[in-house]
């Protein structure tokens, strides 16, 4: 979708850090908005995308870790953005284009040709649980509180989350999480299979580093072939992304959505 089709909704500049371990064999991406909420704005998505492109083009990288700084992994999309998307007078075509561009920013992680390990902790809300499904391996610690909040907003889930959830945990558990807004702990996420392992508080990053080092020590040709055969292919979800964007563009224009968005996540926005 051309840049000109996007709505203009901007916030303060976020930060995504990129660092390397083991002489460049492991890339570590850290979401950090300096507020402990790591809101998934399109601005943060742009910085994140630049770093992913550099990782893609670096032949030394054998594994990638995605984590977040602060108390929480991410609370998903900013409420101000969500309210603005529902403002009367918005054009459905513009809303559709904005959402497709938003999805594509964050799903750029699917273009990485080596394994990606997610490290989840604290609150992981809204669309942020996508990282438990779109990465190759996900670890959590016991502080994780994961909640998919779209139904509570009166908004169909975006970013192919229903399909990716179903792929990870099956249709019945996916329905439970997507329809009820239920909050699940790290241990429950492990029991469901949404994360591969839940470890003690503060230990998930160390677990991810150990796993990344084990991957880096394996034969790169075999690992890349396994990634190609087992990983998610962006082309396989493009049709759902299109449907999601169309449905969300319609949902944004409903009074039910507007009333629900106005009071979204009161513990964070007051």
**CATH code at position 9:** 3.90.226.10
Q: 245 is in which domain, residue-wise?
A: 3-201+218-269
Does residue 207 fall inside a structural domain? no
Is residue 209 included in any domain, yes or no? no
Residue 146 lies in a domain: yes
Structure tokens at 120: 């989840």
The answer as to whether 79 is a domain residue is yes
The conformational region for residue 156 under phi > 0 = left, psi -120 to 50 = alpha, else beta, is beta
Q: Is the pLDDT of residue 3 over 90?
A: no
Query: Is the torsion defined by CA of 75, 96, 130, 109 positive or negative?
Result: negative
- Count CB neighbours of 45 within 10 A: 20
Overall domain count for the chain: 1
pTM: 0.93
Query: What pLDDT shows up at residue 43?
Result: 86
Residue range 71-89, pLDDT digits in tens: 999 999 999 999 999 999 9
Residue 142 in any domain: the answer is: yes
pLDDT at 105: 94
Q: How confident is the model at residue 1 (pLDDT cuts 50, 70, 90)?
A: very low
Residue 211, domain member (yes or no): no
Name the residue with tokens 């839940």: 198
Question: Given pLDDT bands bounded at 50, 70 and 90, which one contains residue 42?
Answer: confident
- The pLDDT of residue 266: 93
Q: What are the tens digits of pLDDT across the range 50-71? A: 999 999 999 999 999 999 999 9
Q: Give a yes or no: residue 34 inside a domain.
A: yes
Output 19 or 34, whichever has higher pLDDT.
19
Identify the pLDDT of residue 10: 41
Is 67 a domain residue? yes
Q: Which of 12-19's residues contact partners 24+ apart within 8 Å by CB, and which partners? A: 13/43, 14/38, 14/39, 14/41, 14/43, 14/44, 14/47, 15/44, 15/47, 16/44, 16/47, 16/48, 16/51, 17/69, 18/51, 18/54, 18/55
Give the pLDDT confidence of 152-202 residue by residue, as tens digits. 999 999 999 999 999 999 999 999 999 999 999 999 999 999 999 999 999
């Amino acid at each position: 979708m051309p840049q000109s089709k996007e709505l203009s909704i901007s916030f303060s500049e976020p930060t995504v850090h990129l660092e390397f371990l083991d002489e460049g064999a492991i890339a570590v991406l850290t979401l950090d908005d300096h507020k402990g909420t790591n809101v998934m704005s399109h601005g943060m998505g742009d910085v994140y995308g630049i770093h992913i492109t550099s990782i893609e083009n670096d032949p030394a990288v054998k594994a990638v870790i995605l984590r977040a700084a602060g108390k929480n992994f991410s609370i998903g999309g900013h409420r101000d953005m969500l309210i603005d998307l529902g403002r009367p007078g918005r054009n459905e075509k513009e809303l559709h284009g904005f959402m497709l561009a938003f999805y594509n920013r964050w799903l750029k992680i699917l273009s990485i040709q080596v394994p990606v390990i997610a490290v989840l902790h604290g609150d992981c809300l809204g669309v942020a649980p996508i990282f438990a499904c779109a990465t190759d391996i996900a670890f959590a610690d016991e502080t994780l509180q994961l909640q998919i909040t779209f139904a509570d907003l009166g908004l169909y889930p975006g970013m192919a989350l229903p399909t990716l959830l179903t792929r990870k945990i099956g249709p019945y558990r996916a329905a439970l999480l997507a329809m009820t807004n239920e909050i699940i702990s790290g241990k429950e996420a492990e029991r469901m299979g949404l994360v591969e392992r839940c470890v003690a508080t503060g230990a998930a990053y160390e677990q991810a580093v150990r796993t990344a080092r084990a991957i880096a020590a394996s034969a790169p040709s075999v690992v890349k072939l396994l990634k190609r055969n087992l990983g998610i292919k962006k082309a396989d979800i493009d049709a759902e992304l299109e449907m999601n964007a169309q449905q969300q563009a319609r949902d944004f224009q409903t009074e039910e959505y507007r009333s629900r968005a106005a009071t979204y996540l009161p513990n964070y926005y007051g």
